[in-house]
Structure 1
Amino acid sequence: MKVILTFLFSIWGLFAPESIVVKNGDYFISQMGKLYVEDGSVLYMSKEKNEMLLKMVDPRGMFKEGKYLWIVDFDRLVRLDLSTGKYKNFFASSPKYLNDIVKYKEKYYVTDTYGNTVYKLNDEKLEVTYNLKRPNGITTDGEYLYIISFTSPAVVYKCDENKVIETYTLNEVKGGDGIVYADNMFFISGYTSKNVVIYNSSWKKIGEKNGFSSPADIYYSNGNLYVPDMKEGKIYVFKVENE
């Protein structure tokens, strides 16, 4: 089987978009802006309106559940109540570069790329769970966690709740950034290799899309793949199809 990504449209005019969450046709977008400068924001875009939900420093990965939008900033995890606009911060003891988030077995896991650490939110504190080299994007198939490294070549760490089970080296991906599991496939973006590579559940390459400038934290929804390109200021949307 070979998988192709067919371009549908782009969301443009953004300021270093890093991540997107799509719910019921509406978009939640994190814009990093300039690194370590308080010019980042989280946007909400729908057919009816566009609005800024929160000003931040460098918002990155996001996860939506119910009325809450979880957002990773460079030094904290933020839980935004979309019904009230109020938010709560959760901290680690010595974060370096918090990056992405996923929910796995009722717990939230957050990567710290330059801290070489993955945290688990426990009792409202981010506690160290794994020590890995340059962990960036994170996803789950429900049974295991999968973490992509911001290295060249990129490495995927397959983990249970306590330890690394297996590793996979992906020679096609340099500067591993986003990773998402959907429909028995893994979609991975290479920030440095400027591509998105698709693998089956046995880690055999089944598709690739090149030509990006800086693909970041990707998102899959209803057969579409969303690819933020930070340097281009756009989010590209592709239809995932079998050739």
Structure 2
Amino acid sequence: MIEGLAEHLLALALRPSDTPFRIALSGGSTPQRLYALMASAPYAQRFPWQRMQFFVGDDRFVPHAHADSNAGMFTRLLFAHVPVPAENIFLMPDSGTPEDAARTYEATLRGLYGAPNLQPGKPLFDVNLLGLGTDGHTASLFPGQPVLDERTAWVATCTPATAPHTRLTLTYPCLHASRHVIFLAEGAAKAPVLARVRAGDPTCPASAVTAMGDVTWFVDRPAASE
């Protein structure tokens, strides 16, 4: 599954284009093996790092050096081992207030997008990688949280009752502004929620994720068992 996803991302990144290839990374345990694979031979020699731009789908509002930081994990597993230019890495801020950090990251995205509002047919990201929690959350869009109703901001905060730390997360409109949304789910523990999301269960935040292009699922056999 991980190798298949790496090959898929490589094929997308190598498509001829005059613009940078923009990808938003996901936290979680399963994607860590993807990033480690991308940083190893032969993938480290095959990805077009110089024209790739990396973003963060969500992160815990902790210092990047913190063990729970997605930014720190991306750096340790991927960025420290491949020749991606530092100016092509856009991590979520880890200082100030969470609200200020969300506004700062949103301003960065708007500046790169070149417009104050998301426009139909003009994606912000080429790829948005997403995971799936057993409660149906994705990114830091947790059940019952006010962020699920956000339709204006591109980046918002979330403080879930079921997980540690205040979070910064891309919102539904920002996730939608992707050519390709790719979900990654692994293990038998994900089978019940995967079935619910695939059936469109409205109590699962992941069910409401859409894309300007396509939504693809990479799952293993245990996760797909239901």
Give the TM-score, by structure 2 length: 0.31
Give the TM-score, by structure 1 length: 0.30
Larger helix proportion, structure 1 or 2?
2
